[in-house]
A and B are shown apart, each in its own frame.
Chain A
Amino acid sequence: MTVPAYQKIVFYLLLTVSSVLIFAPAIIAFSMSFMSNQDIMTGKIIPTSFTLDNYVQVFDRFPLFNFLLNSLIVSIVIMIGQLVLSSLAAYAFVFLEFKGRDILFFVFIATMMVPFEASIIPNFQTIRDMGWINTYTGLTLPFFAMAFGTFLLRQSFKQIPKELKEASEIAGIGDFKFYLTVVLPMARTSLVTLGVYGFLTSWNMYLWPLLSTTDDTTRTVQIGLRQLQSQEQLNEWGVIMAGAIIVVLPTLILLFLGQKKLQKGLAEGALK
């Protein structure tokens, strides 16, 4: 099937304009991270000089590689935890019929509505009492159960034709096996999406890691970015932008690399 040329041009035009608009803030930040403070302060749009100073400074100010590694560990652990727990729960909500299911689902959804900022202090106390301050457990465990993920996977599982479950039931395939061998592979797209989402949101957390750690051993990279900003002094935009770029780069690279896989996953999702 082919699309006529004029239509193609319209699409490319729209795509390009949208891309520029979407990508501009990141590009601007990127170019600023190589500008001197003077250039930035005087509102230059095109830098007069190119400097790596900003990056050097960022790397000097905190143990960046350590932070990056911590972020990576925390994000991956949370991601896996969320995938397991959410898919189990979503399965129950879609394929198992039991009394109180709908109510329970609503309770799950309701948990999404508890503002995190409101529960942050009690949670901090819990972590403190368990002795999990400055541990990966403390950083990750509270995020394993995820109503959002359950909800997302529920929507996705609901798209799996009922007949497949029926065919499995007749073949004598138990729920757990069906979950493993049919539901998970068929919902691969959503799992990938949720995984990426979980990874990125964990990567991007800053209030909780700041609170649940007191020293640099398990701290994540977002805290570094926050430290770059002072409260009332003049912002060193170049340094801050360099920090932001460093913080953003791993996730963007992941996204760019994962895009192919993500796309493939998305495309295979269309195979129903």
Chain B
Amino acid sequence: SGGEDASNEENTSNDSNAEESEADDEKQVVTFWHAMGGAAQEALNKIVEDYNNSQDKIQVNAEYQGTYDEALTKFHTVAGTDSAPTMIQVFEIGTMSMINSGHIEPIQNYVDKDDYDMSGLEENIINYYKIDDKFYSMPFNSSTPVMYYNKDAFEAAGLDPENPPATYEEVEEAGKAIAESNPEMKGFALQAYGWLFEQLLANQGALLMNNDNGRSDTPTEIGFTEEQGKSIFNWVQNMIDDGTFANYGTNGDNMVSGFLAEDVAMFMQSSASARNVIDNAPFEVGVAFIPHPENTEREGVVIGGASLWMVDGKNQAEKDAAWEFMKYLQTPEVQAEWHVGTGYFAINPDAYDEQVVQDAYETMPQLRVTVDQLQSTTSSFATQGAIMDMIPEGRRIVETALETVYNGGGVEEAYQTAVDQLNQSIKNANTARGE
């Protein structure tokens, strides 16, 4: 299966990695910090490996630094010292924090110097990472959430497996049908994950933060209306009342396992999981767009994942070398491999034409859906995504609120608490910055 392939490739790559790092005194070394664990780390290592083998001037050392959060904290601590890396991978919501740190060099400098064409990238991605008309970082691994569903279960419940529910209401109905046909199975699971909440907001055209999601000015409070925000909570509440909702708390792995064990028929999760889910399911897996309330138009999704940052204070040769590597990562071949290996998007759409991708789609047509959803997104402030340095904290506030509802707390109170805390958090962040 897929796992085995990956491991074989990894085997060879790792060995040569060790050899090379010893025998390259003249090579320009680039230190690349990342937060990719598990299968993604395997894929990343392979790419770095190939790059190092493909030329003899630059040696990239990819070094794991823990979770996104830990890697970022660590960067903040070493920024400005010799221990700082040449480049670092930071998740999308760390963008403002990186800009504010003052220890990075906007990627735009290199784009301009090199006359590098960024327009080939996915529109969504450009939308997110272009801030004040400037690229601060180089997009790299991007994902969006999709809705996975159990086609076999759909069939058994008399639903059309090729026509998955698109709205909250349809999801609810489908859930009921499924629960009816199979009392052992719940209809829908929503991991208590702030990112998913953000996406569900965007899909109904709502802003997360005011001031156009922070794109026109620093946000001062939340940007969604009570109706928009509550719709998600209510949706969940309805399903709980129907007894069709499966609660897996904040744990994504539990949820996927539950889906694979046929305890639940639908769930939302990052597209990055697609390969994994499809590979491991003993039934037919369907992938669909994430749902939206019936009374709104589907607006689309915000790009997630992470981008690569150039660290300031290194000598130019080193930074140039890092820039070379970043460009390499954008090439269609690399992106194709990355896309297929992990489930992250190819940020460079040309990659979809690559043979590997075509082959993969052949066997797993579901992978396409993730791309379709991205490409059919309407461009707006809502889908451009919010930028603000307190979003990580905001996510935890929302997660707590969701869990409260999952566990029988009232929507009204949970929602209100979350909003208050979010606003407070925004205020704190602004005060801390001295604004």
Task: Establish whether A and B are touching in the complex (CB under 8 Å).
Answer: yes
Asked whether, in the complex, the Cβ of A41 is within 8 Å of the Cβ of B63, the reply is no
Q: Do A214 and B83 contact each other (CB < 8 Å), given the known contacts A53-B4, A233-B272, A234-B277?
A: yes
Nearest B residue to A125 via CB reads B77
C-alpha spacing A235/B37, complex, angstroms: 11
Residues on the B chain within 8 Å of A63, using CB: 14, 18
List residues of chain A with CB within 8 A of the CB of B297: none
Q: Which residue of A lies closest to B143 (CB)?
A: A232
Contacts of A57 in B (CB 8 A): 3, 7
Distance A73 CA – B42 CA, assembled complex (angstroms): 27
CB distance from A206 to the nearest CB of B (A): 9
Among the 9-residue stretches A4-12, A140-148, A223-231, the one with 4 or more Cβ atoms under 8 Å from chain B is A223-231
Q: Which of B202-210, B251-259, B400-408 contacts A (4 or more CB under 8 A)?
A: B251-259
| Distance A61 CA – B39 CA, assembled complex (angstroms) | 9
Q: Pick the contact of B38 from A124, A128, A229 — CB < 8 Å?
A: A229
Residues from 168 to 195 in B contacting A, C-beta threshold 8 Å: 193
Tell yes or no: A163 within 8 A of B by CB. Answer: no
Most chain A CB atoms below 10 A, which of B257, B270, B277:
B257
> Which single member of A42, A121, A211, A233 contacts B40 (CB below 8 Å)?
A233
Q: Tell me whether A60 and B14 are in contact (CB under 8 A).
A: yes
The stretch among B65-73, B232-240, B367-375 that forms the contact with chain A is B65-73
Asked whether, in the complex, the Cβ of B273 is within 8 Å of the Cβ of A234, the reply is yes
Bound Cα distance from A210 to B193, whole angstroms: 25
Check B77–A232 contact: CB distance below 8 A.
Answer: no
User: B40–A41 contact, CB under 8 A?
Assistant: no
Chain B residues contacting A223 (CB-CB under 8 Å) are: 64
A63 to B14, alpha carbons, bound, how many Å?
A: 8
**Contact (Cβ within 8 A) A228 B10:** no
In angstroms, Cα B84 to Cα A214, docked, is: 9
Q: Does B118 contact A (CB under 8 A)?
A: no
Contact B10 A233 (CB under 8 A): no
Instruction: Decide yes or no whether A216 CB sits under 8 A from chain B.
Output: yes
**Cβ of B257 and Cβ of A226 under 8 Å apart?**
no
Q: Are B14 and A234 in contact (CB under 8 A)?
A: no
For residue B85, CB closer than 8 A to chain A, the reply is yes
Whether A89 is near chain B, meaning CB under 8 Å from some CB there, is no
Closest A residue by C-beta to B277? A234
Chain B residues 11-40 with CB under 8 Å of chain A are 11, 14, 18, 31, 33, 35-40
A14 to B6, CA, bound (A): 47
Q: Are B257 and A234 in contact (CB under 8 A)?
A: yes
Contact of B7 among A42, A56, A128 (CB under 8 A): A56
Interface residues on A, range: 20 to 34
**Given known A-B contacts A227-B41, A233-B38, A214 and B7 have beta carbons under 8 A apart:** no
Asked if residues A232 and B68 are in contact (CB atoms below 8 Å), the reply is no
- Which of A43, A211, A214 has a CB less than 8 Å from the CB of B85? A214
Task: Report yes or no: B10 in contact with A43, Cβ–Cβ below 8 A.
Answer: no
Instruction: Tell me if B74 is interfacial: C-beta within 8 Å of chain A.
Output: yes
The answer to whether the Cβ of A251 comes within 8 Å of any Cβ in the partner chain is no
The residues of A that contact B120 with a CB separation of less than 8 Å are none
- Complex CA distance for A232 and B268, rounded to whole angstroms: 12
Contacts A128-B81, A234-B276 known; A60 to B261 CB distance under 8 Å? no
State whether B11 touches A234 (Cβ < 8 A): no
- A175 part of interface (Cβ distance < 8 Å): no
Contacts of B61 in A (CB 8 A): 215
Interface size of B as a range: 35 or more
Interface contact A233-B39, CB-CB below 8 Å: yes
B269 touches A (CB below 8 Å): yes
Does A191 make an interface contact (CB < 8 A)? Answer: no
Q: Flag whether A204 is at the interface (Cβ < 8 A).
A: no
A63 to chain B, nearest CB (A): 7
Do A228 and B37 touch across chains, with their CB atoms under 8 A apart?
yes
**Complex: A53 Cα to B193 Cα, angstroms:** 32
Task: Please give, as numbers and ranges, the residues of chain A lying within 8 Å of B270 by CB-CB distance.
Answer: 232-233
Question: CA–CA, A18 to B326, complex, Å?
Answer: 56
Interface string of A110-134 (1 = CB under 8 A from B): 0000000000010011001001010
Complex: A4 Cα to B38 Cα, angstroms: 56
Q: Is the CB of B282 within 8 A of A42?
A: yes
B7 and A60 contacting across the interface, CB-CB below 8 Å: yes
Q: Could you mark each residue 375-403 of chain B with 1 if its beta carbon is under 8 Å from any beta carbon of chain A, else 0?
A: 00000000000000000000000000000
- Specify which chain B residues have a CB less than 8 angstroms from the CB of A230 in the assembled complex: 36-41
Measured in the bound complex, the distance between the Cα atoms of B3 and A228 in whole Å is: 13
Question: Does A37 reach chain B (CB closer than 8 Å)?
Answer: yes
B419 to chain A, nearest CB (A): 26
Q: Does B260 interact with chain A (Cβ within 8 Å)?
A: yes
Give A37 to B282 CA distance when docked, in angstroms.
12
Which A residues fall within an 8 A CB radius of B?
37-38, 41-43, 53, 56-57, 60-61, 63, 121, 124-125, 128, 131, 133, 210-211, 214-216, 223, 226-236
Top 7 closest pairs, chain A to chain B, by CB: A230-B38, A234-B256, A230-B37, A235-B253, A234-B276, A232-B252, A57-B7
Write the residues of chain B forming the contact surface with A, with a CB cutoff of 8 angstroms.
Answer: 3-4, 7, 10-11, 14, 18, 31, 33, 35-42, 61, 63-68, 70, 73-74, 77-78, 81-83, 85, 193, 252-253, 256-257, 260-261, 269-270, 272-273, 276-277, 280, 282
Can you list 29 pairs linking A and B with CB atoms under 8 Å apart?
Answer: A37-B3, A41-B257, A41-B280, A42-B261, A53-B4, A57-B3, A57-B7, A60-B7, A63-B14, A125-B77, A128-B81, A133-B83, A211-B66, A214-B65, A214-B83, A215-B61, A215-B63, A216-B63, A228-B38, A230-B38, A232-B269, A232-B270, A233-B270, A233-B272, A234-B252, A234-B260, A234-B273, A235-B253, A236-B38
